[in-house]
Structure 1
């Protein structure tokens, strides 16, 4: 991930059609930096969101070191004692992934080793402090960006709050929390381009997994580009990376329409890789416009209604409320969503078992429900003697009792 030059990356607005002078560009850049700093001082999240969507984002890393902690509502006064933190079960995988990090920068091996130690230390500290979180491959790519921009001291609190309050769904024990994000992609595509949506209807949206799961940090190699994209992502709610992916897909319509719709595997392979180069500024502006026109709650179908109220897709919608959430709030939401997923999965398992049971006895579908209904109602009854049931129905009563036990 993240190829970086030795100097802090700075974005500047491109020249207009008349050819602006470098002095004017510098003046514009300085003026924008002051606007970002002022919005950060007064916690004006709406203004920071506007500035993040404008060309160049937050301009440079020095400005990001002020704006990002504000967007993540970091508390610099909070202390984090390290004593008696129990190692997390996922730390072996963390070490493997960290060892593959910092491929392009820095060139100095001693500096690279130091950064790897810092990266592993931050990740392990977050996981140990919040042991319920489950590490996923690519998480280190996200943390790497925050470490490079903010530095070791400020990165921990930023990573901690990002993990619990922004990407919590991805760190649940079940992939179901991640899958609900991907299920939003088809209705977004439908809103943007119905023809392309139909063309891709046989292709499952898992092609967006690597990019959206890692906030694009695993897919975009240039440090300047991923830092600039993080300006936009951190200033917006959790659904925005999905909208960005949909905009990227629509930008490739001509290429995708040439592939037969009956070849979902080929479409999946093409869609899973981001095009290069990316017109990042154009994509960000388009995504910002699309999100305003087609917000998640106005998407067609049931996808948004099926999103848990505990999901970050819904708990990040209001930046002022999000800023008031603490890591402890994040833990509570995590446990509530995890319990909800487990209940839903248990119900689905029972339904599958009942379906298998019905097929086992080869009942016509027309009569299966009529027979099963009284059986289910009476499966726990002890008022009727076993001799009341025919041998087959008595056996089924026992099977159903086992399913619901």
Structure 2
């Protein structure tokens, strides 16, 4: 089905079009100045010799510099190049085999994936959110690609947020290439998040606190006192900020950065965001819910200096590489974790409670006997007589 539309977006000349295959072709431009014009010329030149090491280095520098890859025509060319190398794109797309509806619906993860994908409407540009047939096609393609990827390796486990990452690739690359690049990413950049448990993910998130401690001890102590933990940054890191950000051009620019960088750079960018917000955090009430909300709301602040934060994240990673702060991060994580009481302490407390109860009962009985001696003798005599009466009645009956 051909859907032809061209819609002006929020940033000047940003446009979204759909080709005959239903692919989104976004000419989303971060900067229309001289620097971006020069970068376009450079990327056009690099695209002519896409199989050399020098080209890869040049594209990587563009991804990490201001504006990233600038436009989606460059992303469509260079994202697969950076992730897959010089693999034949045409061969990869030609070999793609679609799943049947029955195969999709029989998949063990189908229901969870379907529910998550159904909630991802806001991830699409406003221009197509009202075009039901187009959105439905994207969602069907997204579900199919996710399930096919999970079938490539039994060690891969779906996590909520994986669909946010893939829908971004889908809008730029289409179904077949999205499958190809995602198969590579789940074995590299996203591997940690696809483990059976969240332990490894939580481990890497605590690298932020090792950075906070070194960069801003006052902020670190405040966050530890508030018992903030790492949940606030979880959606940022595992979805490459795509779930939390409402600005699609910015999401695409961050994807340029993350594709060309170490898989832990999203953690350092999260740390850079918090460090940038340090004054607001310190002015906030020292309670986890309050700081969590503050940071969650700040991510879409129009005044957030993303270019500066990107530069800061790369500087932080260079200054405090993961291998140098991993042990400290683990120690901070252990300190932050709630400590279960030791079994012997629980038994001791349980025994103390029992003794206390018996002691209270004894004191009550003793006080009662001392204050009512005649009544106590009468009750005791009655009990003794009743006992002997029943005893002799039982013997005579037998």
Q: Identify whether the pair has TM-score above 0.5, normalized to the shorter chain.
A: yes
Matches of 2:150 and 2:75 in 1, distance apart? 25
> Would you say 1:200 and 2:210 are equivalent positions?
no
Cα deviations by residue, 1:327-373 (Å, 9 ceiling, x for unpaired): xxxxxxxxxxxxxxxxxxxxxxxx989x425753679xxxxxxxxxx
SS at match of 2:187: helix
Aligned to 1:57: 68
- C-alpha change, 1:89 and 1:31, in structure 2 (3 Å) is same
> Would you say 1:11 and 2:29 are equivalent positions?
yes
Cα deviations by residue, 1:9-61 (Å, 9 ceiling, x for unpaired): 3325464xxxx6xxx853x1332313553684314554433211211101111
Aligned to 1:93: 112
Matches of 1:304 and 1:48 in 2, distance apart? 35
Query: TM (normalized to structure 2)?
Result: 0.69
RMSD of Structure 2 on Structure 1 (CA): 3.3
- C-alpha change, 1:300 and 1:118, in structure 2 (3 Å) is closer
Matches of 2:30 and 2:160 in 1, distance apart? 33
Aligned to 1:297: 323
Greater CA drift, 113-122 or 271-280: 271-280
Counterpart contact for 1:36–1:67, Cα < 8 Å: no
Matches of 1:288 and 1:212 in 2, distance apart? 15
SS at match of 1:6: strand
Matches of 1:112 and 1:132 in 2, distance apart? 31
Counterpart contact for 1:52–1:231, Cα < 8 Å: yes
Aligned to 1:185: 208
Cα deviations by residue, 1:283-318 (Å, 9 ceiling, x for unpaired): 2122222222222223385337999xxxxxxxxxxx
Matches of 2:98 and 2:300 in 1, distance apart? 43
SS at match of 1:72: helix
Unaligned runs of 5+ in 1: 308-350, 364-405
SS at match of 1:302: helix
Matches of 1:177 and 1:170 in 2, distance apart? 7
Higher percent of residues as helix? 2
CA shift for structure 1 position 209: 0.8
CA shift for structure 1 position 149: 0.9
CA shift for structure 1 position 217: 0.9
Aligned to 1:312: none
Cα deviations by residue, 1:144-164 (Å, 9 ceiling, x for unpaired): 000011111211111111122
Aligned to 1:67: 78
Aligned to 2:343: 356
Greater CA drift, 198-207 or 44-53: 44-53
Counterpart contact for 1:40–1:48, Cα < 8 Å: no
Counterpart contact for 1:58–1:231, Cα < 8 Å: yes
- C-alpha change, 1:116 and 1:198, in structure 2 (3 Å) is same
- C-alpha change, 1:254 and 1:362, in structure 2 (3 Å) is closer
Cα deviations by residue, 1:182-235 (Å, 9 ceiling, x for unpaired): 111101222332222222123212211111111111011222111111000111
Matches of 2:147 and 2:40 in 1, distance apart? 38
Counterpart contact for 1:191–1:299, Cα < 8 Å: no
- C-alpha change, 1:239 and 1:360, in structure 2 (3 Å) is same
Matches of 2:198 and 2:321 in 1, distance apart? 24
CA shift for structure 1 position 115: 1.1
> Which one has the largest radius of gyration?
2
Matches of 1:124 and 1:147 in 2, distance apart? 14
Residue of 186, 210, 216 corresponding to 2:241: 216
Unaligned runs of 5+ in 2: 1-8, 18-25, 334-338, 351-398
Matches of 1:155 and 1:29 in 2, distance apart? 25
- C-alpha change, 1:160 and 1:352, in structure 2 (3 Å) is same
SS at match of 2:328: coil
Matches of 2:139 and 2:212 in 1, distance apart? 39
Counterpart contact for 1:296–1:304, Cα < 8 Å: no
Counterpart contact for 1:5–1:105, Cα < 8 Å: no
CA shift for structure 1 position 170: 1.1
Aligned to 2:52: 42
Aligned to 2:143: 120
> Would you say 1:168 and 2:191 are equivalent positions?
yes
Query: TM (normalized to structure 1)?
Result: 0.68
Aligned residues: 311
> Would you say 1:279 and 2:305 are equivalent positions?
yes
